[in-house]
Chains A and B, each alone.
Chain A
């Protein structure tokens, strides 16, 4: 958003997120139907998830285990006994006309991820998918609506943060951290485009320095990280304009339209409910056993926050680099694989090559998928290349050329170096002879350097590099030229 941000001197944004994560269990939350995506509609249904008379829910134990893992990864306190409630509302995506969810006693509370406190984590079931046959894609004004119950009853974990975020970009970064954390646990695909990760935001402004919270709006349908940031930005601008005009912000739910970037209020019938929560009499309380808890605790992999700590403390990576590798699941996994393949190469050097050169060359090569894991450059090859640079077997320039070849066709860096004759010149006699020729070929530059103008050394170094096809080490070349010109 590029509008004036002058209001930032006057108001402070307060942002909280509500995240829904579809668990990748084999079956649904309360029945035995398999989970599916993109299959023929209404294939995976049964009397329970179609809410036939007399059918009853039974809690999916695997979903409970997965939810416990998420809650523990978010450093939450697990309730010894949590209960399910019925959340009542009529809508065709909700065949029982109530959603089984958790209400006053959720699975877990009081956690933290990074700088954001977690208010609660609870289990519930997903709604069915509505397909509205109309241009707007929304139910009002559509000619007809179709219901696909395949998704209905998919296990969901809802994560609610405290309003600890104060900036749209930070909100986006934090959601990425949450995504990586859950992806590493392996309990969800956490794919925003496919809807296995969904995020709503509660957004308000308050005068800088004020304690009381302003009136919040709830933003829905921001189905990518970019849209989340854009949506919150748009809402902050809107609220700031209202406050500047001394108008009231109304508590409402807004729908983000990614095509126009606009926020439109949802009609009250779509959201203004008295949900008439009451305890679900068909289910018994959820009381995780000590064995379930310790099993969930033990099965947690290294999570981004502790991985970042390890990168800083043990691998001595720079802060920014450690964060990038720890919080980006794909890049982090690639780095770990390269580390494992490395033979004594300093981790920091490998990290530089992964976060710097590799990411840049993949982007430059406009690879369809910038994900390093699916590129032609194997972690093994990258580790080898970084090792060769560190041992000064090849120059940095030569290594870049090798990497370009790897990106284009893959292969073994050692062979590429051999094939293209890119090995470092370690015969100092040969290099000295080329340096001598360089000085002879450009006496003018040589004279200026001799007079102390070090900027003039460029053409001389360039000559040597051309002659050696970039195999020479830049520092060594400079040293030899200065020596040759009597500068020591």
Chain B
């Protein structure tokens, strides 16, 4: 077979590109350069930093057994990369070059991947539309008047817009799954503890988890396999016992798939197009031999409320280190230390970040702690128990990923609560620490009509059952056969 044209090359999945590299049909450097060129000319504002075409970043291990053969990977700008500027989408880290590299990125490099670029994101991963980046919003490749979702919006737009073969992002309450859904790609949030958080700029430490954004389920498994594992630098990391199998299932025979109608069907604000697509997905599951089990997740609907206490509380502490003393932005020329802190943080943080710092500080304050943080922790425990009970009766749980398709830029910026509800379906899994994946389930017209846009289906599995989750997602992916591409 002749070597592919650039446009063919950009359509390949990572696994597809690897196969061609292995078969000698495609030089690995050509893949890197092709992506470096399109990334350099991109118009989605997906990247905050790009490797130059023609540069040959030397992977730390040039081991023959390396699996990823020099393939480019886009990395959310929340991961520290030694010597490469890392902003977390914030002005407060302007000019910051980390002295070290995040474990997840280091593992990818050791597996032979090369960092193609650092992707735009909502500031400190706080947002569901990527409009909270200090470096401007990312545009959705399906419709540039719409948001790509967030907070890993740059990674999702880059993969969907053929600006990267694949990418990594982070998910705290839906930040991988929701943009994957809005951009028509695959996004996996692994079990909390599967991948090291070392070097990932912290937002909410008990929820943050790194994961892949890819063109298909097999690519997600490949990235997960390269990154998962216990890291001595992260006490909460455990890895996935038994490793990650590449998915192979083509049916769902014998699998019990749980649907919590109270949670997924009767929720307010679910767009009709999303609901219809979800119903079609349930039918597909049954056609593949899976059985639909009615389950209850009685506390899941309180997930958003608990999340918006816990995540800001942790964030208020995690973001306190940005004080202008040691790195990043500092506003000088003020009278004293406290004024320097205040001016630096006032100028360095955006509105949403400030809002969450205020919320979190309040929730942890003496006299309010039990009422807010204490109650939210109880809700979190109840939601985790809901899933444990559900998984006694089923193997997987499915929901829509997002209540809506991609919305227009600016549509929700004035209404934080409406924005927070974007994560209604994804937050409960984050609180429970269990793995969940979003795969493209079809296209639906946005309310009021217009170009059809991607709709995601979310599958969730018990903790560390990633192989089961990926297998089922693979079977559904084959059956759904989502072939549409952004124009």
A→B interface (CB under 8 Å): 47, 50-59, 86, 88, 90, 92, 95-98, 139, 145, 147, 269, 274, 276-278, 281-284
How far does the Cβ of B222 sit from chain A's closest Cβ, in whole Å?
Answer: 24
**B321 adjacent to chain A (CB < 8 Å):** yes
Bound Cα distance A98, B235 (Å):
18
How far does the Cβ of B462 sit from chain A's closest Cβ, in whole Å?
Answer: 21
Residues of A within 8 Å of B366, CB to CB, are: 274, 276
Residue of B nearest to A145 (CB): B337
Interface pairs (13), CB distance under 8 Å: A52-B80, A52-B98, A53-B93, A53-B321, A53-B322, A56-B234, A90-B323, A95-B326, A147-B325, A276-B369, A277-B364, A278-B314, A281-B314
| Contact A56:B373 (CB < 8 A) given known A98-B320, A276-B365, A276-B366 | no
Are the CB atoms of A53 and B235 closer together than 8 Å? no
Are the CB atoms of B327 and A52 closer together than 8 Å? yes
Residue of A nearest to B124 (CB): A53
How far does the Cβ of B362 sit from chain A's closest Cβ, in whole Å?
Answer: 10
Bound Cα distance A145, B338 (Å):
13
How far does the Cβ of B9 sit from chain A's closest Cβ, in whole Å?
Answer: 33
Are the CB atoms of B233 and A58 closer together than 8 Å? yes
How far does the Cβ of B432 sit from chain A's closest Cβ, in whole Å?
Answer: 15
Are the CB atoms of A54 and B201 closer together than 8 Å? yes
Bound Cα distance A55, B199 (Å):
5
Residues of B within 8 Å of A276, CB to CB, are: 316-317, 361, 364-366, 369
**A50, A92, A274: the one within 8 Å of B337 (CB):** A92
Majority secondary structure of chain B interface residues (helix, strand, loop or mixed): loop
| Contact A51:B235 (CB < 8 A) given known A88-B317, A281-B205 | no
The interface centre, meaning the residue of B86, B316, B320, B323 with most chain A CB atoms within 10 A of its CB, is: B320
**B44 adjacent to chain A (CB < 8 Å):** no
How far does the Cβ of A43 sit from chain B's closest Cβ, in whole Å?
Answer: 15
Given contacts A52-B100, A52-B327, A55-B199, 10 further A-B contacts (CB under 8 A): A53-B80, A53-B86, A53-B322, A54-B79, A54-B198, A56-B233, A56-B234, A96-B321, A278-B317, A282-B205
**B252 adjacent to chain A (CB < 8 Å):** no
The interface centre, meaning the residue of A54, A86, A95 with most chain B CB atoms within 10 A of its CB, is: A54
**B96 adjacent to chain A (CB < 8 Å):** yes
Are the CB atoms of A53 and B201 closer together than 8 Å? yes
Bound Cα distance A90, B337 (Å):
10
Are the CB atoms of A278 and B86 closer together than 8 Å? no
Residues of B within 8 Å of A139, CB to CB, are: 337
Are the CB atoms of A97 and B205 closer together than 8 Å? no
| Contact A47:B321 (CB < 8 A) given known A52-B327, A276-B364 | no
B→A interface (CB under 8 Å): 78-80, 86, 88, 93, 96, 98-100, 102, 197-202, 204-206, 232-236, 313-314, 316-317, 320-323, 325-327, 337-338, 341, 361, 364-366, 369, 373
Residues of A within 8 Å of B199, CB to CB, are: 54-55
Residues of A within 8 Å of B232, CB to CB, are: 58
Residues of B within 8 Å of A278, CB to CB, are: 313-314, 317, 364, 369, 373
Bound Cα distance A139, B340 (Å):
15
Are the CB atoms of A98 and B317 closer together than 8 Å? yes
How far does the Cβ of B64 sit from chain A's closest Cβ, in whole Å?
Answer: 31
Are the CB atoms of A88 and B364 closer together than 8 Å? yes
Residues of A within 8 Å of B202, CB to CB, are: 53-54, 282
Are the CB atoms of B235 and A282 closer together than 8 Å? yes
Bound Cα distance A406, B201 (Å):
66
How far does the Cβ of B144 sit from chain A's closest Cβ, in whole Å?
Answer: 31
| Contact A53:B88 (CB < 8 A) given known A90-B341, A98-B317, A284-B235 | yes
Residues of A within 8 Å of B233, CB to CB, are: 56, 58
How far does the Cβ of B15 sit from chain A's closest Cβ, in whole Å?
Answer: 29
Bound Cα distance A286, B236 (Å):
13
**A57, A95, A145: the one within 8 Å of B235 (CB):** A57
Residue of A nearest to B342 (CB): A90
How far does the Cβ of B99 sit from chain A's closest Cβ, in whole Å?
Answer: 6
How far does the Cβ of A165 sit from chain B's closest Cβ, in whole Å?
Answer: 29
Residues of A within 8 Å of B322, CB to CB, are: 53
Instruction: Name the 3 nearest CB pairs between A and B, nearest first.
Output: A97-B320, A281-B206, A276-B364
Bound Cα distance A50, B202 (Å):
15
Residue of B nearest to A91 (CB): B337
Residues of A within 8 Å of B198, CB to CB, are: 54-56
Residue of B nearest to A88 (CB): B317
How far does the Cβ of A109 sit from chain B's closest Cβ, in whole Å?
Answer: 22
How far does the Cβ of B338 sit from chain A's closest Cβ, in whole Å?
Answer: 7
Are the CB atoms of B320 and A96 closer together than 8 Å? yes
How far does the Cβ of B253 sit from chain A's closest Cβ, in whole Å?
Answer: 39
Residues of A within 8 Å of B325, CB to CB, are: 92, 95, 147
Bound Cα distance A277, B200 (Å):
23
Bound Cα distance A47, B233 (Å):
12
How far does the Cβ of A102 sit from chain B's closest Cβ, in whole Å?
Answer: 15
Are the CB atoms of A54 and B80 closer together than 8 Å? yes
How far does the Cβ of B317 sit from chain A's closest Cβ, in whole Å?
Answer: 5
Residue of B nearest to A48 (CB): B233
Residues of A within 8 Å of B88, CB to CB, are: 53
Are the CB atoms of B235 and A97 closer together than 8 Å? no
Bound Cα distance A264, B197 (Å):
45
Residues of B within 8 Å of A50, CB to CB, are: 326
Bound Cα distance A58, B93 (Å):
25
| Contact A52:B99 (CB < 8 A) given known A96-B320, A276-B361, A281-B314 | yes
Are the CB atoms of B321 and A54 closer together than 8 Å? no
| Contact A97:B323 (CB < 8 A) given known A55-B198, A58-B235, A281-B206 | yes
| Contact A283:B201 (CB < 8 A) given known A54-B102, A269-B338 | no
Bound Cα distance A276, B365 (Å):
5
Bound Cα distance A59, B198 (Å):
14
Residue of B nearest to A96 (CB): B321
Bound Cα distance A131, B325 (Å):
15
Residues of A within 8 Å of B100, CB to CB, are: 47, 52, 55
How far does the Cβ of B108 sit from chain A's closest Cβ, in whole Å?
Answer: 16
Are the CB atoms of B200 and A283 closer together than 8 Å? no
**B96, B205, B361: the one within 8 Å of A53 (CB):** B96
Are the CB atoms of A282 and B320 closer together than 8 Å? no
How far does the Cβ of A268 sit from chain B's closest Cβ, in whole Å?
Answer: 12
Residue of A nearest to B367 (CB): A274
Residue of A nearest to B86 (CB): A53
Bound Cα distance A51, B93 (Å):
13
Residue of B nearest to A276 (CB): B364
Residues of A within 8 Å of B206, CB to CB, are: 281
Bound Cα distance A283, B206 (Å):
10
Residue of A nearest to B313 (CB): A278
Are the CB atoms of A56 and B201 closer together than 8 Å? no
Bound Cα distance A406, B98 (Å):
62
